Amino acid sequence: MVEINIYTTENISSEIYAKIFFQLIQEIGIEFQKIALYEPINKEFSMEKAIEMWTLAEPGCYDFELDEMVGTAGGMLGKGKGISLMVNWWENPKEKTVNYLVIGFSNKVFLKYKDKIVVVFQKLVSEFNAIYGYISDEGIINRQHITGAIDNRIPGIFEYNHFGKLFVDCIG
């Protein structure tokens, strides 16, 4: 499995981001067949339904200081022949949060569409104003894993990397 991971502090909950993502994937020639808000992934894919799921806002995350749910959160899952998707976002009224999407490709699909997938990666990091992103083989990702989150560590250095302004300013 080859993964694209993209991290951003943009509020990606809007229809605009969903349309950008799904249109770019369609341009490769790959299709999602099933989508869902959670497992099992069993709803038939349609662009309209996928956008609706992507943008569906539910109560956000628990804030221990306030002892209440804060903001809104959402996400969805998708799968097709040789492709998978997980997107998660949280809109916190108190601070910017890190939102992300993970797109998985079977090795066969990645090798068949590699050049197009790399172009889609470049477009996504630009459109989503990514703070960090990469494309890599699942095994390499697992070997480089260290404890922590994107706000206190870089997941690794891979064959394809994107370092946004936030990381460049921090690293120098």
Q: What's the confidence (pLDDT) of residue 171?
A: 67
CB atoms within 10 A of CB 4: 22
Q: What's the confidence (pLDDT) of residue 38?
A: 95
Q: What's the confidence (pLDDT) of residue 150?
A: 63
| pLDDT tens-place string over residues 99-142 | 999 999 999 999 999 999 999 999 999 999 999 999 999 887 77
Q: In angstroms, how far is the first alpha carbon of the chain from the final one?
A: 32
Give me the DSSP letters along 52-73: HHHH--EEEEEETTTTEEEEEE
Q: What's the confidence (pLDDT) of residue 151?
A: 66
Q: What's the confidence (pLDDT) of residue 152?
A: 65
Dist CA 62 CA 73 (whole Å): 11
Place of tokens 């703070």: 131
Dist CA 51 CA 47 (whole Å): 6
Please list the ranges in the chain whose pLDDT falls under 50.
Answer: none
Dist CA 69 CA 72 (whole Å): 8
